């Protein structure tokens, strides 16, 4: 199973993209990364790593793994959590990046739970994940890359979380990968790697 954790900063990501020869407008992509860094500020992942590392991992998955170079998909990949996890709104994203990127971010933004408690949160998340089946291909690519970043180091998480997240990924995300050969192969390899969680 290939792991995508080389691009810790925009400088390393930029160097990796240049080395790959991918036809990507680095200045425009850098603007999206800078906006994500501005909005996420000092947020950290559960592991304590700067939040931007997750966004750059998703970008690395798309560029280095799946050979995706579509600008809107790449911008949405680094902005995919700004509405869900920061004070940024869809209007803020649209003002800076236009309607196409905003639509993709909207598709992958989990709506807030109606009600309180664990059950309400789980119900909202399940509804959001089911809704992704109707998403455009570009939004699905963003979600697939996001989840690769989240599950590639699943063994660093608490055991109960590992089993729950593994099952959720099999139920909702793996079927989304079926039309995408690279993602289908990656998730098959991931599934074998973490088969002990079944």
Q: Which pLDDT score, from 0 to 100, does residue 116 have?
A: 79
pLDDT digits (tens, 9 = 90+) for 139-159: 999 999 999 999 999 998 889
Let me know if domain 10-197 sits in CATH 3.40.50.720.
no
Domain regions of the chain by residue span: 10-197
Q: Active-site residue numbers?
A: 84-85
Q: Where are the alpha helices (DSSP H) in the chain?
A: 10-20, 26-40, 51-60, 71-79, 82-85, 90-107, 118-131, 137-151, 159-168, 174-177, 181-193
Using alpha carbons only, give the angle 198, 144, 67 rounded to the nearest 5 degrees: 125
Using alpha carbons only, give the angle 154, 160, 162 rounded to the nearest 5 degrees: 15
Residues of the chain under the 50 pLDDT cut: none
Rounded distance between C-alpha atoms, residue 106 and residue 90, angstroms: 7
């Amino acid at each position: 199973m290939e792991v995508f954790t080389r691009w810790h900063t925009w400088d390393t990501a930029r160097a990796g993209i240049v080395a790959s020869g991918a036809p990507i407008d680095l200045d425009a992509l850098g603007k999206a990364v800078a906006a994500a860094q501005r909005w996420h500020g000092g947020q950290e992942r559960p592991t304590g790593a700067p939040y931007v590392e997750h966004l750059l991992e998703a970008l690395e998955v798309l560029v280095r793994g799946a050979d995706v170079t579509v600008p809107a998909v790449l911008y949405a990949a680094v902005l995919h959590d700004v509405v869900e996890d920061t004070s940024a709104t869809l209007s803020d994203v649209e003002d800076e990046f236009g309607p196409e990127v905003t639509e993709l971010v909207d598709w992958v933004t989990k709506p807030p739970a109606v009600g309180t408690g664990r059950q309400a949160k789980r119900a909202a998340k399940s509804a959001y994940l089911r809704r992704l089946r109707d998403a455009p291909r570009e939004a699905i690519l963003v979600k697939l890359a996001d989840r690769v970043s989240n599950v590639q180091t699943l063994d660093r998480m608490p055991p109960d979380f590992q089993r729950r997240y593994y099952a959720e990924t099999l139920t909702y995300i793996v079927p989304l990968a079926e039309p995408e050969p690279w993602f289908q192969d990656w998730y098959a390899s991931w599934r074998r790697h973490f088969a002990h969680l079944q």
